[in-house]
Amino acid sequence: MLTVVHRGRGGPAPLLATIALAAIAMLATPSLALAASQPNLGTADSFAVLAGSTVTNTGPTVITGELGVSPGAAVTGFPPGTVTAAQHKADAVALQAKTDLVTAYNNAAGQTPFVDKTGQDLGGQNLTPGIYRFSSSAQLTGTLTLNGQGNSNAVFIFQIGSTLTTASNSRVVLINGASPCAIWWQVGSSATLGTGTTFQGNLLALTSISLTTGANILPGRALARNGAVTLDTNQITKPANCVAASPVTSASAHPKPPVTGGGPPQPASFPWELMLIAGLGSLGAIALGWRLRARRRSPQQAGR
């Protein structure tokens, strides 16, 4: 909304006040343009582990949720591992879950805008909701903190071009209401969780997922589209009480090059916030010009 300013006793003050209020309102309002959308797992939501070729296990792994494989049919190592819900091996349920997994994976991979984290270690970072992209591999060494900022529906999406690897005893920690239901790891190749890693969220890999000895996903999922899920004395617990996602807009609805979800703008991007700030700055410059002209006139008018 624009304020009409009349030249008079008030001068440009009303305009300056309007500019200030608009800037404050803009900065105080969350940016919907930068928000990530929750992918929809469909029937894959009930699975804690899902693979394309095989699921293999060593040791007393505990899977809380369904386990499935499709189009492969091999599941080995249960027992000694245990699964608290049904196992689906190349049946209609597993096939549909895989189809829905592909849809969710593609949705997570296609969302924009994003923050480019290529070349950065996730360890030691404290991130707010948004989309974070690695054009190639991603590494977690130490602790990654995800801050929900008081919103349990806030979505975090990590788009990883190739592999995801965590070092031994790495951790993903959630604070301020962040929910594992809304954390998505889209991995363009394979994911390997190092010994003793404590991981959270939905791990969706194009190829394979390996959990080394004592690595846990608590809570979360290990969902591999085409390859194997390999386990070794792990715990994977499907997130509870997750609200099913509504259908989301396809990536084609966001044709602009990516911008930030909380960092500096990326090249070739120009979010609406910057446009608004530029517009407000222009109005401020105009107002300042009016004031300077008024000051120049004042001595002349006084001498008349």
For tokens 């829905």, the residue is: 100
What does pTM read for this prediction?
0.73
d(CA 194, CA 55): 18
Label residues 137-146 b or e (16+ Cβ within 10 Å = b). bbbbbebbbb
- 36 closest CA partner among 146, 131, 101, 107: 131
Name the 3-class secondary structure at 109: helix
Q: Along the 304 residues of the chain, how does pLDDT read in single tens digits?
A: 444 444 444 555 555 544 444 444 444 433 433 579 999 999 999 999 999 999 999 999 999 999 999 999 999 999 999 999 999 999 999 999 999 999 999 999 999 999 999 999 999 999 999 999 999 999 999 999 999 999 999 999 999 999 999 999 999 999 999 999 999 999 999 999 999 999 999 999 999 999 999 999 999 999 999 999 999 999 999 999 887 554 333 333 333 333 333 433 333 333 444 455 555 566 666 666 666 666 666 555 555 5
List all residues 6 or more positions away from 259 whose beta carbon is below 8 Å from its beta carbon: 34, 112, 113, 114, 265, 266, 269, 270, 271
Q: How many CA atoms lie within 13 A of 255 on its CB side?
A: 0
Helix (H) or strand (E) holding 181: none
